[in-house]
Amino acid sequence: MKIGVFDSGIGGLTVLKSLVNSRCFSEIIYYGDTARVPYGVKDKETIIRFSIEAVDFFNRFNIDMLIVACNTVSAYAINAMRKYATYPIVGVIEPGVLSLSNKISDKNKNILIIATKATTKSRIYEKKLHKLGYKNTHSLQTGFFVPLVEEGIFKGKLLNTTFEYYFANTKIPDAIILGCTHFPLIQNEIKKYFHNKPILIHSGDAIIEYLIKKYRLKKVSKKMPKISYFASANPKSIKDSAKIWLK
Ligand code: DGL
Whether pTM > 0.85 for this model: the answer is yes
- What is the tens place of the pLDDT at every residue in 125-137? 999 999 999 999 9
Percent pLDDT > 70 in the chain is 100
CB 128 within 8 A of CB 162: no
Q: What is the pLDDT of residue 245?
A: 82
Q: What is the pLDDT of residue 222?
A: 81
Distance CA 187, CA 209 (A): 19
Average confidence (pLDDT) over 9-31: 96
- What is the tens place of the pLDDT at every residue in 200-233? 999 999 999 999 999 998 888 788 999 999 999 9
Q: Is 38 in the pocket of ligand 1 (CB under 6 A)?
A: yes
Q: Is 232 in the pocket of ligand 1 (CB under 6 A)?
A: no
Q: Which residue of 180, 201, 241 sits with most ligand 1 atoms within 8 Å of its CB, as the best mutation to test the pocket?
A: 180
Is the model more confident about 244 or about 175?
175
User: What structural domains does the chain harbor?
Assistant: 2-91+205-246 (3.40.50.1860), 93-203 (3.40.50.1860)
**Catalytic machinery residues:** 70, 180
E strand spans, the chain: 2-7, 27-32, 65-68, 89-90, 111-115, 137-141, 175-179, 199-202, 226-231
At residue 55, does pLDDT exceed 80?
Answer: yes
- What is the tens place of the pLDDT at every residue in 160-180? 999 999 999 999 999 999 999
- Closest residue to atom 6 of ligand 1, CA basis: 38
CB 95 within 8 A of CB 103: no
